[in-house]
Amino acid sequence: MSNLQRFYIGGQWVDPAAPAFRDVINPATEAAAGSVAMGSAADVERAVAAARAAFPAFAATTREERLDLFARIGVAYKKRYDDMAQAICTEMGAPLKALAGSGQAGSGLFHFRAAATALQDFVFEKPQGGTRILREPIGVCGLITPWNWPANQMACKVAPALAAGCTMVLKPSELAPLSGIILAEILHEAGVPAGVFNLVNGDGAGVGAPLTTHPDVDMLSFTGSTRAGQLVMRAAADGIKKVALELGGKSANIILDDADFTRAVTQGVMTLMLNSGQNCNAPSRMLVPAGRLDEVEALAVAALARVRVGDPLDAATTMGPLANGAQFERVQRLIEAGVAEGAKLLAGGPGRPEGIARGFFARPTIFSQVKNSMTIAREEIFGPVLSILPYRDEDDAVAIANDSPYGLSGYVSSADPARARAVARRLRTGNVHINGAPIDMAAPFGGYKQSGLGREWGAWGIDEFLEVKAMLGYGEGD
C-alpha cells in the first residue's frame, strides 16, 4: 500500500506537514502491519481549506451528476473489494471469510448504494403556499470514525455527505487506518472532484481536536464512545457547529415467555459474539423469564459451542481477536468485575482461549443471574461477553431494558407478532429488532439518551448533512 505515509488532500496524495508515524498493529499477531503517517493541525488546515474551496462548485451539482458519481464509486469499490476486506482483517482482526469480506467490506458498498437509492427521490425543494422550502448542503463536514466497523462507519458518513452536496475531511481511527486509505483510493479512481473528499490520519489530539474546533468546519459527524462524544460536543460548542453523534449501547434482548427459546437464545448468543462483541448495537443483556433461567443457561452454553475463535485468516474461524490491546485489557477488567460482583459464570472468563498464547483474543463469556445494577449490566463492554438477566413479568422486562443510560438498539422475541410489537413500542431505543429481524440499511440508525444525537443511513443520513432555508414570497409557481 503505497499511500500509508501520505494524506489525501485536494485530490492528490501529499506528505504530512511534519513527519510523524505510528505502527498499525495486527491484533491477531501483535506485530506491526505497516506504519501510517500521523497528522497535525497543519494538515487539518490544508484539508479544510481544500474542502472549503471545493464546496461552492460541488454544492451546485445536480442530482443526476451526483448519481453518476455514485455509479462510478460503486464500480471502483467492487474492484477494490478484496483489498478492503484484507485491510479490515489485518487492522482490526475480523475473520476474513466469515466477516471481513461478507459483512465488513460489504457494508461499505451497501451504504453507497443505499445513499444513491435515497438520493434518486430525495426532496430538496418543495412549495408551501407562496413560500419555497429548500434543503441545502450544510458545508464542510468533519467526519470522525471508529475502528470496529471501519468501512461501514466511513461509508455511512461519506456517502450521505456526498449525496447532500457537502465537502468533507475524514479522520479514521488511528488504530484502523488501512481501510480509510483504500477508500480514498476508491473515491479518487471514481473521479470525486478535488477537495470534495479529504483524508487525514491521526489521533484525537493531533487531528480530531483541530478538526472539531476549526472555524471553517460547519458540521461534525462522530461515531465512538459516549465519553469521546461528550468531548467532541463540548469542543464544537464554541463554534455552534451542528454535531451528529452515534455513540455507545447496552442493548436489551427481551425473550418473552411464548418465544421459541431454542431459536431466540441461540440467535441472541451468536449475534452478540459477531465481530468479537465489538458492535454498538450488540444484544449484550439477554432478559428471560426467571422461571426458565435454567433452560436458557443450557441453551446459551450450547450455542456458544458453535463459536470458533482463532486466526482470522483461517476459513473455519468465526470470531477473531479484539481489535487492539487497550480493548483487550478493558474486556478483561470487566469480566473480572462480573466475577467479583457475584454473577454466575457459565462459560469463558478472564484470559485468552485455551491454546492461544499471542494476540488480543478474549474468551467468549456468558454470565447468568446478573442484576441490572452490576457493572457488566451497566457498562458497554464491547467484547464477547453476554449477561443473562431474569425478569418477573413483561412489565419488569421493559423496566429493566429501559433502566440504562443508553438507548441505541433493542431486541424482542415472541410467538405473537402483535405482542412483540407492543413491547418494542415501549423500549426507549432508536431501533428494535422484532423476532430476529436483520439490519435494514435504508432505515434510520441512531440512539436515544447517551447513545447519541441524529440518525444515519439512507434518507435520514442525507438529512443530517442539510440545512433548511425558507424563501418567503417565492410565489406559487416553480
- DSSP annotation of 275 reads G
CB distance 349 to 401 below 8 Å: no
Q: Could you identify the residue written with the cell 483487550?
A: 328
Q: Which three cell numbers stand for residue 114?
A: 443505499
- Bridge-partner residues for 406, per DSSP? 449
CB distance 59 to 165 below 8 Å: yes
Half-sphere exposure of 378 (CA within 13 A, CB side): 8
CB distance 139 to 241 below 8 Å: no
- DSSP annotation of 276 reads G
Q: Could you identify the residue written with the cell 484539508?
A: 47
**Could you give the 3-state DSSP secondary structure of residue 16?**
coil
- Alpha helix segments (H runs only) across 165-254: 178-190, 209-213, 226-237
- Alpha helix segments (H runs only) across 206-363: 209-213, 226-237, 261-273, 293-304, 325-340
Please choose, from the candidates 339, 346, 256, 266, the residue with its C-alpha nearest in 3D space to the C-alpha of residue 292: 256
- What does the alpha-carbon distance between residue 192 and residue 194 come to, in Å, rounded to a whole number? 6
- Catalytic (active site) residue 246: yes
Query: Annotated catalytic residue: which of 246, 297, 380, 464?
Result: 246
Please choose, from the candidates 110, 83, 88, 112, the residue with its C-alpha nearest in 3D space to the C-alpha of residue 98: 88
Identity of residue 29: T
DSSP code string of 344-388: EEEE--SSPPTT--SSS----EEEES--TTSHHHHS---SSEEEE
List, by residue number, the catalytic residues.
246
